[in-house]
Amino acid sequence: MPRVIPDLDVLKTAETWAAEGRSLALATVIETWGSAPRPTGSHLVVDAEGRFEGSVSGGCVEGEVVTEALDVVETGKPRLLEFGVADETAWRAGLSCGGRIRIYVEKIG
């Protein structure tokens, strides 16, 4: 489970990691509908080794975002991800009461 820290700290972590020469991807929640665990503007930074800080959702969604971020680090091609589930499957996917989220993942550093 990722350590949930204020988003300003996540951006500071990204800045520090970039200054260390790490290849990074930054995932940002750009839109939510209905219930979502993290608000618009939440961030998750991932380095090429799979280390990460922050949170954009939780559950299976967070794992999928980390996987996609690793590919973005490798290819340099940004991704727009969308996750949405029906209420009966929401808990398994990490969206607590249904809802949908859109997450933009880009290479930085």
Q: Please provide residue 43's backbone torsions phi and psi, each rounded to the nearest 5 degrees.
A: -130, 155
Using the structure block, give the residue that is written with the tokens 């993290």.
Answer: 38
Per-residue pLDDT band at 61 (split at 50, 70, 90): confident
pLDDT value at residue 98: 64
C-alpha of 14 from chain center: 13
C-alpha of 51 from chain center: 12
pLDDT value at residue 90: 47
94 conformational bin, left if phi > 0, alpha if psi -120 to 50, beta if neither: left
Mean pLDDT of 40-61: 92
pLDDT value at residue 6: 52
Per-residue pLDDT band at 54 (split at 50, 70, 90): very high
E strand or H helix that includes residue 90: helix 90-93
Given a cut of 90, is residue 26 above it in pLDDT? yes
With H, G, I as helix, E, B as strand and everything else as coil, classify residue 45: strand
pLDDT value at residue 22: 96
Mean pLDDT of 28-45: 90
Per-residue pLDDT band at 109 (split at 50, 70, 90): confident
How many residues does the structure list for the chain? Answer: 109
Given a cut of 80, is residue 74 above it in pLDDT? yes
pTM of the model: 0.83
